Amino acid sequence: MTRAFVIARRRKGRRMGQAVHETKVRLDAAGWKVETCLVDRKSDLRRRAKGAVKAGTDVVVAVGGDGAVLQVVQVLAGKKVALGIIPMGTGNLLASNLGIPRGTEQAAEILVHGDHRQIDIGHLRVHGKRELFTVACGVGFDAEVMKQTSKRAKLRWGKLAYVASAIGQRKRVRNVGHRITLDGRRTSMRATQVFLANFGGVGLAVEPRLEVEPDDGYLDVIAISASGALRGLRSGWEALRQGEPGESPNGHAYRAKAREIRIEVKSTRLVEVDGSVIGTTPITASVRPAALTVIAPAKSRTTSASAER
């Protein structure tokens, strides 16, 4: 019998309690032994998940957005306990990259019938703090957008809230000097945005032509060079269409893979992980191969993309 711990954080305007209940009903019907929990504070997500793991649960189901999922990931990284997701947030980055649908009923079906899949995770050190990420770490413009997007706007407008913030922050699309060290090899460049990606869906509307694999033991570095909003759009598209590692033909994008990455910037830049701003540069990142087990559709988006290629 599969033992599951379903947890969510109460959020104004979101029906977390109902989603937890509906998930439990479906898992009960599948013969699982289910315990549920609703908490008020973000730190309680991690604390209660730790307790469930110690008690011998097989699956921890995070009901919520990227922030809630990341709190649970901090506990499950490196363990055999699987992560299940019922996406209830704005971005739902990990869920969407895995092909987990919105809607409690559909997502709960994935828990019952999906595959257990091992993926890499990113490990970040920033000013003495340790952070993990599943999808991407962003340095620069995207972190500015995340910081300026209010909870109220996200609740009212969903993903459009990020678009509105990006328009409002368009004057911050500017190049600054970066010193990036990839597995001991140092390079210098001017960029407005640097992603350390574990999945391809990092918030750029479509996935890069040069595929990002979440289980290859590497992080993908995507650097975009641009000053000004219009050039930023052009350079972003150039980064998406780039087909080979290294510098893009027009010189506005750069792609590489590395296991350990150090980013230093002449003027301090904000840093976000999976949609949450967590500090400022400099940062050191590394990959933890196959460190997380997730329950995903039998044919997740990344697997399907690989088959098509």
Give a yes or no: residue 309 inside a domain.
no
The total number of structural domains in the chain stands at 2
Confidence check: pLDDT of 16 > 80: yes
Q: What is the pTM assigned to this prediction?
A: 0.85
Q: How far apart are the C-alpha atoms of 182 and 188, rounded to whole Å?
A: 11
**Amino acid (one-letter) located at 117:** R
Question: Are residues 278 and 158 located together in one domain of the fold?
Answer: yes
Letter for the amino acid at 251? Answer: G
At which of 85, 113, 141 does a domain end? 113
Kindly report, residue by residue over 254-300, the tens digit of the pLDDT: 999 999 999 999 889 999 999 889 999 999 999 999 999 999 998 64
User: Do 168 and 283 have their domain in common?
Assistant: yes
Confidence of residue 5 (pLDDT cuts 50, 70, 90): very high
Residue 14 scores a pLDDT above 90: no
> For residues 200-230, b (16+ Cβ closer than 10 Å) or e, as one string?
bbbbbeebbebebbbeeebbbbbbbbbeeee
Q: What's the count of helices (H) and strands (E) in the chain, helices before strands? A: 10, 17
CB neighbour class for 1 (10 Å; exposed up to 12, middle 13-18, buried from 19) = exposed
> Do 91 and 177 belong together in one domain?
no
Do 141 and 20 lie in one domain? The reply is no
pLDDT at 167 over 50: yes
3-state secondary structure of 192: coil
CATH assignment of the domain containing 96: 3.40.50.10330
- Quick one: 44 and 160 in the same domain? no
Residue 305 has pLDDT above 60, yes or no: no
What per-residue confidence (pLDDT) applies to 25?
97
3-state secondary structure of 236: helix
Report, as an integer, the average pLDDT of 76-99.
Answer: 94
The verdict on 191 and 265 lying in the same domain is yes
Read off the pLDDT of residues 204-259 as tens digits, 9 standing for 90 and up: 556 776 789 999 999 999 998 877 666 656 666 666 666 677 677 777 789 999 99
Q: What CATH number is attached to the domain comprising 155?
A: 2.60.200.40
Q: List the single range of 47-61, 96-110, 131-145, 238-252 with lowest mean pLDDT.
A: 238-252
Q: The domain containing residue 63 runs over which residues?
A: 3-113
More confident: 38 or 206? 38
* CA distance linking residue 256 with residue 133, whole number of Å: 19
What radius of gyration, in Å, describes the C-alpha atoms of the chain? Answer: 19
Within-domain flag for 294: no
Q: Which helix (H) or strand (E) holds 164?
A: helix 160-168
**Phi and psi (nearest 5°) for 144?**
-60, -40
